[in-house]
Structure 1
Amino acid sequence: MHIDPVTETPKILITGANGFTGQHACIYFAEAGYKVYALVRGNSSLSHENIQLVRGDLTDREALRKIAAGLQPDFVLHLAGQNAVDTSWIKPVETLEANLLGTAYLLDALRTESSQSKILVVGSILSSDPADIDSFIHPYGLSKTMQTLFAQVYSSLFTLHVVIANPSNLIGPGHSAGVCTILAKRIAQMEVGLEEPKLSVYNLLAIRDFLDVRDAITAYDMLLKKGKVQTTYSVTSGHPVTLKEVTDIFQNISGVSFEVTSEIEEKESFCSISPVDLQQLGWSRAFSLQQSLLDILDFQRKNRDDKRI
């Protein structure tokens, strides 16, 4: 691993820096003393003395090579990709391009220009068993499965220092398209009379494993430092909940009483995945689900639109 011999300041390249997780990650590593190179495609609101914006696109192979050669990062946190299940049905090929080919181009650039880098490829807990065709339920899961399989095999073939992280549903303050943020935004509107006190959830009995994005980033930090190469780690809370439990918590912490309706109420089968391998490295959660939801709601209150949704 290369460390600047003069400053000994670790350098980290973060892809997808403008995304929900990416913005949290850039600030976290900048405040931890890293020199952060934030890969973005356009403009960015990221601002910190330890953050340097790097403009580029993961589909531009030559640009990636120049970036890898110029930066020689000690660490790479690969967050970029197309992460919406619904979008994957509309744009399946584009989803594969973003998640599989983008990863392939990045790893190949690092192979030729910065092979000493420790790389964390962030996949998804929605990845499936490649040998079980029936386990694939959407193009997004296919793309993330192919992404992580490629990363594992490619790192083995070319002796790259790649670790895989498969996170569950990440939540927390900030601009997210996740269900918890959507609910919190509506509740924040309700609290000031800008929205009728009614919430509609498609299936209240749907089960999800929610993990605070800030806990996920401390896990990523630990995996970059201690994670075993060519190993996959589950980054989860290990405590799945129904969406009804989520709306109940919001009801308790909000300043308004609201009605909750559901189009269907069907129990789902859900296999809880424990982060035991991560915990053995010394990681633990700092944020309970209730605290995460409170922080999300507070963020939405501070960024509330003064008009009806």
Structure 2
Amino acid sequence: MYSPQSFDGQKVLVTGATGFIGSHLCQRLIHCDATVYGVSRYKQFSEDGSIQWLQADVRNFDEMQQIFTSIKPDIVFHLASYVSGSRSIDAVRSTLENNLLSTVNLLTLMAEAGGRRIILAGSLEEPDVGDAPIPSSPYAAAKWSSSAYAQMFYQLYQVPIVNARIFMVYGPAQKDIKKLIPYVTLSMLEGKAPELSSGQRQIDWIYVEDLVDGLIATAQAPGVEGCTFELGSSTLTPISTLVEQINQLINPSIRPQFGALPDRPMEQVRAAKIAQSISKLGWKPKTSLQQGLRRTVEWYTAHRDLYVL
């Protein structure tokens, strides 16, 4: 199976480097001897100098062009995104600008400046091949459009893209406490019953360190330009089952309030098809849901003072 190789000082640019996935990825890249450049809208500092922070807005073409001209990255991981499953009209412009416009900016800069590979973060929310082409949310529409633009840039301009279709990621240090697992975990650690939807939706959960393995593989595997790889566990687990597992790990006497919130319309139910990820990347997930949840609960238990619900 896949074993990460050294990046041997290659310059790797990570957008969304302060985010949940981005921060885990940056740490792994450092351990793989990459020269890591993290992009953030806000000033960031690295006490040990392991990450070279760059302040820019990925929606701003001129700011990103200055970065590309200055550092000439070998590899780009584009993880910056406005992540929201909201069906609200307010989400349309946010996802358009943060997700689609930012992706087109980076693809254009890769076409102009060159570079070995750009890895784009796709989503399980995108319509699947063979599905009716109707995105289920503004976020899904922006991600789907980004994937289409990436394929156009690959075919017309030979931009070396790889699309990583990411399934539902969880693990330690997820900052957004509105996300299901942080919310449920922190609620139960405080002795509160989390308020949830019906819990019937089935989801493919992928542990963050397994996902990072997959992302690294998409950057290093030979001859995979233009491909889309699904990075998930390939197993569906209902939300209710996942919540029950967290419940058992923390306090079985707490009774989660299923049905307190409405289910969102047009939720995607899809397990990752990882055959190509196994055959071309040599990657597959290693962490069971039970192992991953235990590690996640242990981390939030140790760091609960950092979070306020």
Aligned match of 2:257 in 258, 261, 270? 261
CA contact under 8 A between 1:130 and 1:145: conserved in structure 2?
Answer: no
Task: State the one-letter code of the partner of 2:290.
Answer: Q
- Give the deviation of 1:131 after TM superposition: 8.8
Q: For each residue in 1:16-73, what CA deviation from the matched residue of structure 2 results, as whole angstroms up to 9, or x when unmatched?
A: 1111111111111012211100011103365544311011111221221121121111
1:54 maps onto 2:49 in alignment: no
Alpha carbons of structure 1 residues 250 and 132: separation in structure 2 relative to 1, 3 Å: closer
Give the Cα separation in 2 of the matches to 1:201 and 1:74: 44
Question: Contact (CA 8 Å) 1:189, 1:305: kept in 2 or not?
Answer: no
Contact 2:127 2:133 in 1 (8 A): no
Give the structure 2 partner of residue 242 of structure 1. 238
**Partner Cα distance (2:105, 2:268) in 1:** 36
Task: Name the residue aligned to 1:217.
Answer: 212
SS at the partner of 1:69? Answer: helix
- Structure 2: gaps (5+ residues): 1-6
Percent identity over paired residues: 22
The reply to whether residue 41 of structure 1 matches residue 37 of structure 2 is no
Amino acid at match of 1:167: I
Give the letter aligned to residue 200 of structure 1: E
Q: Which amino acid aligns with 2:123?
A: S
Partner residue in 2 for 1:19: 19
| Secondary structure, counterpart of 2:64 in structure 1 | helix
Aligned-partner Cα distance in 2 for 1:102–1:216:
22
User: Is the Cα contact below 8 Å between 2:124 and 2:270 reproduced in 1?
Assistant: no
- CA RMSD across the alignment: 2.5
Task: Tell me whether 1:124 sits opposite 2:119 in the alignment.
Answer: no
- The verdict on how the C-alpha distance between 1:255 and 1:287 changes in structure 2, with shifts beyond 3 A counting, is same
How far apart are residue 181 of structure 1 and its match? 1.2
Stretches of structure 1 lacking an aligned partner (at least 5 in a row):
1-6, 191-195
Q: Do 2:207 and 2:287's aligned partners in 1 also have CA atoms closer than 8 Å?
A: yes
1:179 aligns with 2:180: yes
Contact 2:125-2:136 at 8 Å conserved across structures: no
d(CA) in 1 for partners of 2:307, 2:82: 30
Q: What is the Cα deviation at residue 161 of structure 1?
A: 0.7
Counterpart secondary structure, 2:102: helix
Deviations 1:273-306 (A, max 9, x none): 3211111121121221112212221222122249
The TM-score, its normalising length taken from structure 2, stands at 0.87
Instruction: For 1:14, give the aligned amino acid.
Output: V
* Matches for 1:96-111 after TM superposition, within 5 Å: 96-111=96-111
Post-superposition offset of 1:144? 0.5
Cα 1:249–1:22 shift into 2, 3 Å:
same
Q: d(CA) in 2 for partners of 1:167 and 1:107?
A: 19
Moved more, 246-255 or 15-24: 246-255
Distance 1:308 1:18 in 2: 19
Q: Deviations over 1:108-153 (max 9, x none)?
A: 122212x133110111011115996663221111010001110111
> TM-score, normalised to structure 1's length?
0.87
In the other structure, the counterpart of 1:204 is 199
